[in-house]
Amino acid sequence: MQHYLFSDKQLLLTADNTIPYSGAEDGIPFSLDDGVTCSAAAVAEIPDGLHPVDLRASYDMLPLTDYLRAGKAAELLYWHSNHRFCGRCGTPLESKTPLSKWCPECRTEIWPQLSPAIIVLIHRDEEILLVQSRTFRGNYFGLVAGFVEFGESLEECVRREIREETQLEVDNIRYFGSQPWPYPQGLMIGFTARYKSGVLHLQSEELANGGWFNIHQLPAIPKPLSMARKLIDSYITHKDKYE
């Protein structure tokens, strides 16, 4: 069984950057849709022979399945750490299954909840709109994105976020794909949208920079692990199908 161990929110790998096959005795069991059982655990001290790696950085070191399992392990540990008391009566929660807890006092049962967010590539012929969020860790450009609010559809969220962040109007909104985003407990839902009208005006509170860029002359963009990069690469390769 592979053990996905974390210390201070960093993934622990062996000397040759693989997932260890031994770990904490009280790990949380989990699996992906392949049915292979693994375990997730947070440790106070780093075991001999292991070293910490940022979860994002592990994408370039691990096979994709191992990276996805590490993401799920990180989300499980975050949920268990941040949901210890009943939100209704304040009683300490007890584990019912690896993916649920319950309150022995009022018998409320809870499960991990995802935070769905949209991300959208806005295109205009040979150009795409790229923006630089004030929350980005590096000096690169990404895409318009934001969390889905209560009472709105995904498509409504796409239009609202574009309007709020750029004051542009779009049409031809198309679903592209989705991606678990364990930073933490997110679900990134990708769309494309065609520019319709408006003059670009960036929301300064959230965006530091942005503009239209020719697809053959792009600035630094996100790494391949992200939905933003998948959207950009797809548009460059298959531009005609989006018009």
pLDDT of residue 164: 97
pLDDT of residue 191: 98
pLDDT of residue 184: 87
Q: Which residues of 202-214 are buried (b: 16+ CB within 10 A; e: fewer)?
A: beeebbeebeebe
Instruction: Name the helix (H) or strand (E) containing 161.
Output: helix 154-166
Distance, in Å, from the CA atom of 214 to the CA atom of 35, rounded to the nearest integer, reads: 44
* Cα-based angle 40, 45, 51 (whole degrees, multiple of 5): 75
pLDDT of residue 24: 72
Distance, in Å, from the CA atom of 79 to the CA atom of 73, rounded to the nearest integer, reads: 10
The pTM of this model reads 0.90
In the chain, which residues have pLDDT < 50? Answer: none
> How many whole angstroms from its chain centre is CA 80?
18
Task: Indicate the burial class of 224 (C-beta count within 10 angstroms; 0-12, 13-18, 19 or more).
Answer: exposed
Distance, in Å, from the CA atom of 231 to the CA atom of 132, rounded to the nearest integer, reads: 16
Distance, in Å, from the CA atom of 29 to the CA atom of 162, rounded to the nearest integer, reads: 40
pLDDT of residue 22: 80
Torsions phi, psi for 29 (to 5 deg): -70, 145
120-159 confidence digits (pLDDT tens): 999 999 999 999 999 887 889 999 999 999 999 999 999 9
Q: Which domains does the chain have, with CATH numbers?
A: 3-82 (no CATH), 88-113 (no CATH), 115-242 (3.90.79.10)
pLDDT of residue 242: 81
pLDDT of residue 105: 97
> How many whole angstroms from its chain centre is CA 45?
27
Q: Which residue has the tokens 């989990």?
A: 30
Contact 140, 220 (CB under 8 A): yes
